Amino acid sequence: MSESGKEVFIGIDVSKEKLDVAVSSTGEFMSFSNNDVSIPCVVDFVKSFTPSLIVLEATGGMETAVVGVLADKGLPVVVVNPRQVRDFAKATGTLAKTDEIDAHLIARFGEAVRPEIRLLKDQEAQKLTALLARRRQIVEMLTAEKNRLHAAPRWTNKDIQTNIAWLEKCLKKIDKDLKNLLKKSPIWREKDEILQSTPGVGPVLSMTLLSGLPELGTLNRKEIAALVGVAPLNRDSGLFRGKRIIWGGRASIRSVLYMSTTCAMRFNPTIRIFYERLRKAGKQHKVAITACMRKLLVILNTMIKNRTYWSTVKI
C-alpha cells in the first residue's frame, strides 16, 4: 500500500532479455535484465511499494526465476494466462504495444480483475514438471519415428530403428528419474499411492497432477473442475440456448486426464457405470466422456483432501 493509503498493483512484462516493471499507483516504470544478477534488484524495487498484488503473464517458463524469488520473499505474486490480459487490452481499447505499455496494462489488469493467488510450485515440483514435459516430447518423437518406419524405404530403416532404440532408452531413463524423484518426498509418495490406488489412474496421470495441479485437495469440486477446464460453460443469450462447452483451464493436465478416463471407462466400475448411464440418457460420446473426466477429477480431489484410498471411498 502506498503512503497515500491506496493499494499498489505491479505488473511485470517478461521477455527473454528483460523484466519491465510498472507500478499502478505512481505510474513508475523500471526495466531490468532477466538474469540472476538483476532479479534481486527487481525484488528490492517491488518491495519498496508494499504491493497488494504482483502480476506476470505465463511466458513459457521465462518468468519462472523471478516468480520463484518473489514468492520466496513472501510477496503476493500471481501468474496469469496471457489471453486474459490480451482480452482486457481489447476491452479497454489499448491498441498500442510497447514494453512499458504492456507492463502498465498488466498492472491495470491486476487492479481491475484481482486474480486469485494460487499455490506456487517449489523447486522439486518444477523439476517434476520439466521431466514430464520432456517425457511427452520423447513419446511424441518415438511415435513419429515408428510411423515413419512403416512407410520408409529399406535404405533408411536401419537409421530409424537406431533412433527408436535410443528414444526408448531415453524414455526408460526419464521414467526412472521420475520414480526416484517421487521417492524423495514422503508427502508426494503418499499422494502418488492414493492416486494410483484408483482403477484407471497410472503413474503418468499421478505425476502430472502432482506437478501441474498443486491445488488438488485444497479446492472444492466446482473450483477444481474449473481450474483444469472440465467444467461446462453456458452459452445462452435471450431465448437462445447453446451447447455447454469446456474452455480454458490447464490443457496439459486435461489431455492426460482424458487418456486416463478412457482407461477408467474400461477398468473402473464407477466411471464405466456413469458413462453408460449418460449414454443411455442420450448424451453424445464427447459430452459423456467429458463428464467422466470431471467425475474422476472430483473423486481424486476428494481422496487427496481426505487422504483416503480408493478401497475406502464410498461413491
Identify the band that residue 251 occupies on the pLDDT scale cut at 50, 70 and 90: confident
Burial code of 274-289, b = ≥16 C-beta within 10 A, e = fewer? bbeebeeeeeeeebbb
Q: What is the mean pLDDT of residues 152-163?
A: 88
The CATH number given to whatever domain includes residue 64 is 3.30.420.40
Identify whether residues 136 and 209 lie together within a single domain. no
Distance CA 224, CA 231 (A): 9
Could you tell me if 229 and 166 lie in one domain? Answer: no
For 90-132, write each residue's pLDDT tens digit: 888 877 788 888 999 999 999 999 988 776 666 677 777 788 8
Q: 73 is written with which cell numbers?
A: 520473499
Residues 70 and 128 in one domain: no
Question: Is 105 found in the same domain as 179?
Answer: no
pLDDT of residue 271: 95
The pLDDT mean for the chain works out to: 85
Q: What is the pLDDT of residue 120?
A: 63
Q: Do 205 and 315 share a structural domain?
A: yes
* Residue 245: band (very low, low, confident or very high) from pLDDT cuts 50, 70, 90: low
217 and 267 co-located in one domain? yes
| pLDDT category of residue 20 using cuts at 50, 70 and 90 | very high
The domain boundary, picked from 184, 209, 235, lies at: 184
Position with higher pLDDT, 238 vs 22: 22
pLDDT score recorded for residue 242: 45
Q: Is the pLDDT of residue 43 over 70?
A: yes
pLDDT at residue 142 is higher than 50: yes
Mean pLDDT of 74-92: 87
Flag whether the pTM goes above 0.75.
Answer: no
pLDDT for 231: 75
For residue 314, pLDDT beyond 70: no
Range of the domain at 162: 123-184
pLDDT number for residue 12: 94
Q: What is the bridge-based pairing of β-strands 29-33 and 53-57?
A: unpaired
Are both 157 and 218 inside the same structural domain? Answer: no
How many structural domains is the chain composed of? 3
Q: Cβ contacts of residue 291 below 8 Å, gap of 6+? A: 274, 275, 278, 283
Tens digits of residue pLDDT in 198-243: 999 999 899 889 878 888 898 899 889 988 888 765 454 444 444 5
The last residue of a domain, from among 95, 113, 131: 113
pLDDT of residue 237: 45
